[in-house]
Amino acid sequence: MADKTADKRQQILITAMQLFSAKGASETSMQEIAEVCGMSKGSLYLHFKSKEELEKSIYEHIIGRIKDEILRVDNDPLLEPREQLRKQAEVLLIHFMEIREFLLKQFHDQTVPGKPPFDKDNAQQEIVQALQWFNHKLQVIYGPEAAPYTMEIAMLMGGILGTYIRFLFMPDFHLNVGQTAEHLIQLMDDVMASMLRRRPKPLIPLEVVLGQKDLCQVDLRSPRHPLIVIKAMKNELKQLKLDHELRQDTLESLGIMEKELITLQPSRAVLKGMLRNLEGIEGLEDLYEELKNTITTVLETYLAPGGMT
């Protein structure tokens, strides 16, 4: 019985991910997911209490698959440690290629701010375990003298790998996964050789990082572009019960801001005026503050000193 429940849950996750990849989460209903899975909507809710829980479970499913594959490579006795690491970089790139359409739709679909699709405490534990694993892997490959440079190498390799992954999202751009993984490891060889030759004092010792109580405390996500926030406000307006005239005035103000934001030099005066029209509208307070802040951040290059105040 437990196996059947697990199989059904996995079927739901895979089906939902395929539908989200094609249409986006906001355009996919729980009813549609249930129909494609051949079950009732009520049965679907027995497995997942909400679409938000389902989305979070999809991310957990993806992360679980990647971890399982990386551990499988780690336990392959026929591969040398360096080749294991190269293969594991290849695994990451392949998985991101497989879920590319899903992630693209998720990014484009994110018009309403919400909780991140992961548990903060679990993320803290995952980061610590990943750093400890990488530290061990470096020492196995390069010797114990490599240990002090774990963070430098992790940041460098993580940044380069992240950039490779971004290129995977570009249309008509193709990376050879095998060559990319091998190039990454060769870069790591070169950097580590330089580190071990020069023996500089590490700027960020691993033990300092592992001693942090909350590695997830700082929110490093970029603020949403004003046009995305405006789209979110328009969507929210559809749900609010407002006076007809106020609704039309609000939509007009948002439309004027949209047009202004796509010009080469947006007018500070126009943006301030339209923002003033949006202030104090019940139900839009949070989005209003986000819009005001993100305009200041994104357009500070064009605005006169003093920002939006």
**What is the CATH number for 11?**
1.10.10.60
The answer to whether 305 and 269 are in contact (CB under 8 A) is no
Please indicate, yes or no, if residue 303 is contained in any of the structural domains.
no
Residue 65 in any domain: the answer is: no
Domain shared by 23 and 131, yes or no: no
Angstrom distances, CA of residue 129 to CA of 133, 218, 283: 6, 19, 42
Report the residue count for the chain. Answer: 309
- Looking at the structure, tell me whether residues 105 and 198 fall in a common domain: yes
> How many structural domains comprise the chain?
3
Q: pLDDT tens digit string along 29-58? A: 999 999 999 999 999 999 999 988 998 899
Q: Which two tokens stand for residue 137?
A: 């892997």
Question: What DSSP state is assigned to residue 264?
Answer: S
DSSP label at 200?
P
Residue 2 — pLDDT band, cuts 50, 70, 90? low
* 125 within domain boundaries: yes
For 127, the token pair is: 């980061």
- Residue 164: what pLDDT? 86
Among the listed residues 163, 52, 162, the one whose alpha carbon sits nearest the alpha carbon of residue 109: 52
Sign of CA dihedral 27, 29, 33, 36: negative
Q: What percent of the chain has pLDDT over 70?
A: 87
Please, which pLDDT band fits residue 188 given cuts at 50, 70 and 90? very high
At 266-295, the pLDDT tens digits run 888 888 899 999 998 988 999 999 888 888
Residue type, 226: P
- Please, what is the Cα angle at 124 between 141 and 167, to 5 degrees? 65
Alpha-carbon distance of 182 to 157, in angstroms, equals 12
Reported as a pLDDT band with limits 50, 70 and 90, residue 124 is confident
> How confident is the model over 111-121, as pLDDT tens digits?
444 445 556 66
Same domain assignment for residues 3 and 105: no
> In this structure, are 85 and 217 located in the same domain?
yes
| SS3 per residue for 136-153 | HHHHHHHCHHHHHHHHHH
User: Is 309 domain-assigned?
Assistant: no
DSSP-derived secondary structure for 46-88: HH-SSHHHHHHHHHHHHHHHHHHHHHHHHT-TTS-HHHHHHHH
User: Looking at the structure, do residues 168 and 232 belong to the same domain, yes or no?
Assistant: no
Is residue 299 within a helix (H) or strand (E), and if so which, with residue range? none
The residue range of the domain holding 136 is 80-221
Residue with tokens 């609010």: 240
pLDDT of residue 80 exceeding 90, the answer is yes
Of 162, 192, 221, which residue sits at a domain end?
A: 221
User: Do 216 and 127 meet the contact criterion of CB atoms below 8 Å apart?
Assistant: yes
Query: What is the model's pLDDT at position 254?
Result: 92
